[in-house]
Amino acid sequence: MRKQFEMAGERLERHNCQSWQEEDWLYFSCPDCGFTRKLNWKTGELALIHQGDSKALHSALHAPLMEHPQVENSN
Ligand SMILES: [Zn+2]
């Protein structure tokens, strides 16, 4: 079965973020457009560092060592 990333009328680019951890923060950065955000895994605080391409769909995995696609779009 083919996965669909194109919604009606709007095409979303799909970017894969790289992630890493620095102390309490998990960083997610997109090498394609510069999108960067960080998540405090203790408090759940989310901070946007660089907006990057707002039209792109960014997927990031919390565990960079695991290759597990999480792109299910359940509507
Ligand atoms: Zn991006």
In the chain, the percentage of residues whose pLDDT exceeds 90 is 52
User: Does residue 1 have a pLDDT over 60?
Assistant: no
Gap from CA of 11 to ligand 1 centroid (Å): 14
How far apart are the C-alpha atoms of 43 and 39, rounded to whole Å?
Answer: 9
4 within some domain:
no
69 within some domain:
no
Average pLDDT over residues 37-54: 93
25 within some domain:
yes
Gap from CA of 21 to ligand 1 centroid (Å): 19
State which residues form the domain around 21. 13-53
Gap from CA of 33 to ligand 1 centroid (Å): 4
Interval 52-72: pLDDT, tens: 998 898 987 654 444 445 555
38 within some domain:
yes
**CA contacts within 13 A on the Cβ side of 37:** 18
19 within some domain:
yes
pTM (predicted TM-score): 0.63
Number of structural domains the chain divides into: 1
Gap from CA of 67 to ligand 1 centroid (Å): 19
User: How far does CA 61 lie from the centroid of its chain?
Assistant: 7
- Arithmetic mean of pLDDT over the chain: 79
27 within some domain:
yes
